Amino acid sequence: MKKAVSVICLCALLLSGCKQMKEVERVLVKEGGEYTETVEIPYEPPTDEDPQPSSGSSGVDETENSGGGNESSDTPPAAVDIGYSYDKVSTDNGIAFEIKVPSSKMKEVSAAQFGMSVEKEDNTEAWLLALDYCKRNPGSRLVIPNGTYRFYGSAEVDLAVSALNDTLIDGSGSTFVFRSSASKWFSFVNCSRVCVQNLSVDYDWSKQRLADVVRIKSADPANKTVDWEFVECDSISAGMKMVDINKMTGNSLDELVVGDEEYKYTYLNKTGITAKTVIGKNVLRVKYTSVLDMMEEGEYYLLRHFDYGGNAFVLTGCSDFSFKNINVWSVPGMAFSIGGMSTRFQLVNCNVMIKPGSGRHISSTVDGLHMGATSGYWRVEGCRFTDLGDDCINVYNAVAEINKIEDEKNLVLRRGSLEVGDTLIFNTDEYIPLNFSAKILRKESVGSLLTRITLDREIPAGVKAGGIVFNEKLNGGNYLIKNNVFGRNRARGTLLGCGNGMVEGNTYMNTQHGAILVVADIHESWCEGTGVDNIVIRNNTFKNCASSNANAVIDFAAKNGGKILTTPVFRNVTLTNNIFENFPGLAVSVQSSGDIKINANSFSNPLDNVLKLSERGMISVKYAKNVSITNNIWNNSAYMNLSDYISITGDISVMKPVISGNKIQ
């Protein structure tokens, strides 16, 4: 007989002569087969030794909670004086904040009490019960007995909890394995003072592979066919899901990393691929129009079957949230997605990487850490993000573009993150401030990605269609990125769309595009970045980065509609004591910038590169003012043309560059 699961809630009992309501008890009953198991969830009332403080006597400032949940009935319990440690961040460029982490006076409870078991096919129900207990009992330390726990339910269920406060979740080195490819594996909404630690998560590749290495077995450009051999599969299907294919480089299968050539399969399938036929147990013949002519016999490619699927960890509206010693071995979407005005969060000693010994070639199919709408104050330290399908870290502020001005107080905006009551800051299409701001009184959707906004003030004449609008409450800045390893990935190492940051002591290796891209970009498919002020990038090592030459190793560029902006969108940035090794093109490209210092860095290219670019090793400056390039060292080699190692484009009298103390050795 199939086992059924039911949850029985006993009615609350009012105690005679006492104003306190007894906690609702829950019993998990598993029925069917030859046994019945009952698991009682303990209720631990306050005691004289450990009193529950009133809302006025708590040791924690309750104003730090980020709201009370999605519904009025989801009000969080009062904060509990459980004792905290404070993880403090302070840098010499003025960044200072602290994150509360629960540390003592906690009531320990085992996840096994809620029915979690390594024997189960699906631990979803038990896990949600455990989270609910912690929500109702702030000050809980939820301990997961070491083991591998499966989440193999047939439904795509978000494992979500809201208003969880003052909780420590300790995985004890356990691994959670998921089969869901569209749901959020862990979703925390409006949660405060929470730490998740000592846990690994993984996707079940036996259900469906996230990516495959294919070798070009034969290529026939004359007949427009190419045969893909799936080197890690015994059988394949012509109907398998495919979203992207990237060229790989390396001397052996184990050493392969994503290289320069990229083909978007969704695009190819519409306009370039005309047929797919299985011609061997693991060989697929692809017939195309012309777009795959560059594929050659013997080359290796990474074919992704997923990109924006389910995410592993999602934070929305959270504060004082910590991830420590977390491994994301693989996920069909992003490893960490943080938004909804979350603030004061950190990843410490966390990894998004291929599980050792698995033989796989991808971890997260897209970004490792994606932050699009936060209030900032965060750090990433001692982590490793490698073998991803997109960027290692992408942090930016969502902005909006003025689509149309309808009258003195109404306008239509494209994209952006907008709510009634928010204050909007208006700029020209070149990011020049207009010294005008106004609050949103009303909003309504008026089309795809379009929102009509009513303001509390009249719109001045200087505000024009095409202008850029910032939301004052969105500021993802104030951050520390320190002592991490990034790379072996498609796309960039870190995208920095927010200011007040320190990027220090990191190793970047084998990034397909630039290692660090400081960006603001208005595009048909996105509107990202308010510009940056105050970033220090120092003591980092960049090895074999920007292999596609799509960007410089470190690249500053603000664009609107593909056009580079000539105004200083990026200011007060220092690049110092960094090491650049083996890159194909520009070391640093500075555009749309002002007050940039490039000091005491070293550049070397002792190995040949197939692209053989004349600008290899150079620093390029254009559309930038007050750029200082001093005391840098270029290590001479036959593979760099150092006759002109600094390129200044523009009116020198206006740009006012300072160049001194640089040398070739």
- Quick check: 16 pLDDT over 90? no
Q: What residue segments make up the domains of the chain, in order of their start?
A: 1-40, 107-206+309-386, 211-304, 400-471, 505-664
Q: What is the pLDDT of residues 213-261, one digit of tens each?
A: 999 999 999 999 999 999 999 999 999 988 888 999 998 898 899 987 7
| Share of residues in the chain with pLDDT > 70 (%) | 87
| Share of residues in the chain with pLDDT > 90 (%) | 80
| Start-to-end Cα distance in the chain | 78
Which residues, at least 6 apart from 286, have a Cβ–Cβ distance to it below 8 Å?
Answer: 225, 226, 227, 228, 273, 275, 276, 292
Does the fold of domain 505-664 match that of domain 107-206+309-386?
yes
Residue 76's pLDDT is 56
Q: What is the pLDDT of residues 628-655, one digit of tens each?
A: 999 999 999 999 988 889 999 999 999 9
CATH 3.40.50 for domain 211-304, yes or no, is no
Rounded distance, CA 25 to CA 209, Å?
42
What is the average pLDDT value for the chain, to the nearest integer?
88
Residue 91's pLDDT is 98
CATH number assigned to the domain covering 107-206+309-386: 2.160.20.10
Q: Among 545, 541, 551, 548, which Cα is nearest to 610's? A: 548
- pLDDT bin (cut points 50, 70, 90) of residue 14 is very low
Residue 617's pLDDT is 97
The CATH T-level fold of domain 400-471 is Elongation Factor Tu (Ef-tu); domain 3 (2.40.30)
Q: What is the pLDDT of residues 123-147, one digit of tens each?
A: 999 999 999 999 999 999 999 999 9
Q: What is the pLDDT of residues 504-519, one digit of tens each?
A: 999 999 999 999 999 9
Whether the CB-CB separation of 614 and 641 falls below 8 Å is answered with: yes
Per-residue pLDDT, averaged over 44-73, amounts to 35
- Quick check: 13 pLDDT over 50? no
Residue 344's pLDDT is 98
HSE (side-chain half, CA atoms, 13 Å) at 91: 21
pTM given for the model: 0.88
Q: What does the angle CA 405 – CA 406 – CA 412 come to, to the nearest 5 degrees?
A: 60
Q: Among 391, 420, 372, which Cα is nearest to 526's? A: 372
Q: What is the pLDDT of residues 79-100, one digit of tens each?
A: 566 778 999 999 999 999 999 9
Per-residue pLDDT, averaged over 281-303, amounts to 93
Whether the CB-CB separation of 621 and 655 falls below 8 Å is answered with: yes
Residue 104's pLDDT is 74
Identify the weakest region by mean pLDDT among 50-54, 283-287, 461-465: 50-54
The CATH T-level fold of domain 505-664 is Pectate Lyase C-like (2.160.20)
Q: Between β-strands 570-576 and 593-599, what pairing exists: parallel, antiparallel or unpaired?
A: parallel
Residue 262's pLDDT is 77
- pLDDT bin (cut points 50, 70, 90) of residue 50 is very low
Whether the CB-CB separation of 268 and 246 falls below 8 Å is answered with: no
